[in-house]
Chains A and B, each alone.
Chain A
Amino acid sequence: MLTVVLFFLFFSLFLYVLLAGADFGGGIIELFSSSKNQEKTKQTIYRVMGPIWEANHIWIIILIVIMWIAFPQYFNIFVVYLHIPITLMLLGITIRGLAFIFRHYDAVKGRSQGSYNALFKLGSILSPLFLGIVFGGLVGGNINLFSENPNLTFKEIYIDGWFNIFSLLIGFFYIVLCAFIAANFLIGEAGDDEELNLYRKKASYSTVILVLTGLLILIYGYFNEIAFVIDFIENTYSLIAVGISGLVLVPLWKMIKLKRKAWARVLAGVQVLLIVSAAMLAHFPDVIITSTKEISMLDGVAPDSVITVLGVALLIGGSFILPGLYHLMKSFQLIKLFK
């Protein structure tokens, strides 16, 4: 049953990174568009993401609930040492969610739209930035446990763990990844050739920046002997996953050129799946790396009775949710591939 639980954990992580990524990315693309194109982008994002927007953030709730039920010790370190960036991430999600709904549900379309837009873009940057920083903090090897050294200062315990170049780079990487996902996603939804070219351009820019940031992280991590990066480089499977994700870029570009929108979308999803798996393969189950040791997620896993019940609950819940979500996406033609 632990396998079932872990499957759902990674499955929700993947879907959150992908779907929320597309969602955040929409805002980022909007931010980097000329004011003429902003309105168009905004309409397209709403049309595409609107129906599943409500469902998106629930993946992170599922993720967090599975963590605290099944891996309580792990969750404990996560919430105590990364309190500040998690709070800032929540702030981003809150700002963004509200701006989104207000943009579309304010009965009067007037001046206030300007401030909603500004908030929306701010939230779209803050959320992925701090989400990335949180992940960077977990694996960056900078967390100082106060159980090991009671004389640590506030800064050493609660700030140094995540406020460092490595974490910021990961944060930046996720921002670019979001833009990459969204651009590829939007290509399939462009109304006219002008819009199509716009998203295509964004897609190629973000791909280039994504690859460069990825390399930068590896180089920085290698020279600063960050355990996560070293393990990543030494792990054959991770390298294979990254290698494939690099190779997938070629057919991705081809499909974009040939206007095979559905395939482009699938390949972009595969890309994300490969990146998430590469990161996981490098380190699972030691997903927390502190300044002194690596902590396994499976240490202090909840008792069998809990895992069994949780696994059953996830299977039952999943059998309701997944077909529902599939039909939702299908009804609104988010999945054009299966038509």
Chain B
Amino acid sequence: MENLEAARLQMAITLIFHIVFACIGMVMPFFMIISHYKWLKTRKKVYLTLTKAWQRGVAIFFVTGAVSGTALSFELGLLWPEFMKHAGPIIGMPFSLEGAAFFVEAIALGFYLYGWQKLPEKFHWFTGVIIGISGVMSGILVVAANGWMNSPSGFTYENGVFSNIDPIAAMLNGAWFTQALHMTLAAFVATGFAVAGIHAYQVYRGRNVELHKKAFRIAIIFASIAALLQPISGDISAKDVAERQPAKLAALEAHYETEKGAPLYIGGIVDEENQEVNYKIEIPKALSFLAFGDFDAEVKGLNDFPKDEQPPVAIVHYAFQIMVGIGTLLAIVGLVYLLSLRFKTWQHNRKFWLLFTLMAPLGYIALEAGWIVTEVGRQPWIIYQVMKTKDAVTPMPGIFYSLITYTSIYIVLTCVVSWLLARQIKVLNQNED
């Protein structure tokens, strides 16, 4: 395997895992403090049990996230030294603020985890609120740094030299807001459905139903609302990409030829050699409308870009289809939940719980697909139209071995974390029965 491919794959795998740990660590504190609030309000024991159970989940994911985040902060430099040499000072701002936010989160978590019965009740609860807020802040700041790679700003680039660096302008780049909004909502959708799904399964199996129903209700309300808002944010993102990164838009829609009134392709199998999409469903003029708000707008095709500036088409197109497909499905299922608040008999049906059990992994699949769209869709650039990924990679050969090491660690890590969570749930159910 080529060094560049190995480095890209290692980065992708590390991020794919880190995103899951980070998003759970970012969203679960919110569930935890709601349950905690209910405990303080109602003094029902079940909320205390639930809060403590979720607290253990938060701690496990915070630490796994922190450890894989430490590795990542080094990996950026280890794998992409040329990128960091030039981009480091420019996008340092969001990273240093993220460090600060993360630190605040860690301190608040220290207070929260070890503060039971030691701190005043309200202050203890409030440290939980800080965990949630600072977690979301760090997520937004990291995404702002990624936004800069898609929409570089805050510097002048001439003859390979970066000058006039303005770190604030770089942080507030054109893509930060749309990306941060989309990502934050995605984190709530994915984690909400995952947590709700796990508890729905317990209800479905009839284990410790009272607790799991309460847990389900807290998680799913976040998930449903976020899932219904996500399509709006997706539309803003699509319009943003259409304007800023036309090659990415062409790749995610697998459009090879430039045309006016471009149709939207749904599904289909991409034949990169013959530049065709077979077996697709075509909606006339829909792409032009969705991307530019005008049925006759011109959408640039991939062939309008030099061969060495085209992103891989098939993978981006498939990932995009998966993301949008699942996103739509989850919005509908979210609506089903909101309607079930009106039509209460639905919740007595076991199929209701089975439905939400099946949804558990989907949010995360969509979230990962979304990252594949934005990262692979930016290729061959690491900094859009400034630096190519192949020019940023480390000169050290043999990254393949590093790839193997990291991949094995993350696989073991994921297995162990899942196993630990399963044990937590099992013990939780045993204690209540």
Contacts and interface: CB of A to CB of B under 8 A. Distances in A.
Given A91-B405, A93-B67, A306-B165, A72 B89 contact: yes
A243 interface: no
A196 interface: no
Contact of A70 (B60, B67, B86, B89): B89
B70 interface: yes
Contacts of A324: 104, 107-108
Contact of A79 (B74, B108, B111): B74
Nearest to A300: B85
Contacts of B214: none
A321 B67 contact: no
A324 B109 CA distance: 11
A102 interface: yes
- Which of B99, B396, B409: most chain A Cβ within 10 A? B99
Contacts of B89: 68-70, 72, 302-303, 306
B398 interface: yes
Contacts of B114: 50-51, 332
Interface in A101-124: 101-102, 105-108
A198 interface: no
A86 interface: yes
A69 B107 contact: no
B296 interface: no
A105 B416 contact: no
Contacts of A321: 100, 103-104, 107
A317 B398 CA distance: 39
Which of B104, B110, B402 neighbours the largest number of chain A CB atoms within 10 Å of its CB?
B110
Contacts of B93: 309-310, 313
Contacts of B283: none
A224 interface: no
B97 A80 contact: no
B398 A154 contact: yes
A146 interface: yes
A73 interface: yes
Interface stretch (B31-39, B370-378, B421-429): B421-429
Interface string B85-120: 110111011011101101110111111011100110
Interface string A47-60: 00011111101101
A64 B64 CA distance: 19
A317 B84 contact: no
Contact of A331 (B118, B165, B402): B118
Interface in A157-185: 157-158
A74 to B, nearest CB: 10
Interface residues of A, number: 61
A108 B423 contact: yes
A306 B86 CA distance: 12
Contacts of B78: 79, 83, 86-87
A52 B113 CA distance: 11
A158 B73 contact: no
Main secondary structure on B side of the interface with A:
helix
Contact of A106 (B82, B90, B167, B420): B420
Contact of B397 (A53, A72, A154): A154
A102 B420 contact: yes
Interface residues of B, number: 68
B427 to A, nearest CB: 4
A94 B167 contact: no
Majority secondary structure, A binding face: helix
A325 interface: yes
Contacts of A94: 67-68, 70-71, 409, 413
Nearest to A158: B396
B69 interface: yes
Contact of B423 (A83, A107, A310): A107
B81 interface: yes
B167 A317 contact: no
A305 interface: yes
Given A76-B81, A306-B89, A321-B107, A98 B413 contact: yes
B63 interface: yes
B181 interface: no
Interface string A303-330: 1011001100110110011001100100
B395 interface: yes
A76 B63 contact: no
Interface in B171-207: none
Interface string B268-311: 00000000000000000000000000000000000000000000
Contact of B85 (A51, A73, A107): A73
Contact of B100 (A51, A68, A86, A317): A317
B96 A97 contact: no
A97 B65 CA distance: 10
A240 interface: no
B70 A90 contact: yes
A111 to B, nearest CB: 13
B260 interface: no
A79 B70 contact: no
Contacts of A66: 96
A93 B73 CA distance: 13
B342 to A, nearest CB: 38
A113 to B, nearest CB: 13
B131 to A, nearest CB: 10
B46 interface: no
B240 interface: no
Contacts of B424: 105, 107
15 contacts: A55-B106, A72-B84, A87-B74, A93-B67, A94-B67, A97-B67, A98-B63, A98-B64, A101-B63, A105-B59, A158-B396, A303-B89, A313-B97, A314-B96, A328-B107
Given A83-B394, A302-B88, A310-B93, 11 more contacts: A68-B84, A75-B88, A79-B84, A91-B409, A97-B66, A98-B67, A101-B59, A105-B424, A302-B89, A302-B92, A328-B107
In order of increasing CB-CB distance, the 10 nearest A-B pairs are A69-B92, A317-B100, A79-B77, A68-B88, A302-B89, A107-B427, A97-B67, A54-B106, A101-B63, A324-B107
Interface of B: 56, 59-60, 62-64, 66-71, 73-74, 76-78, 81-82, 84-86, 88-90, 92-93, 95-97, 99-100, 102-104, 106-111, 113-115, 118-119, 163-168, 394-398, 402, 405, 409, 413, 416, 420, 423-424, 426-428
Interface of A: 50-55, 57-58, 60-62, 64-66, 68-70, 72-73, 75-76, 78-80, 83, 86-87, 90-91, 93-94, 97-98, 100-102, 105-108, 146, 154, 157-158, 302-303, 305-306, 309-310, 313-314, 316-317, 320-321, 324-325, 328, 331-332
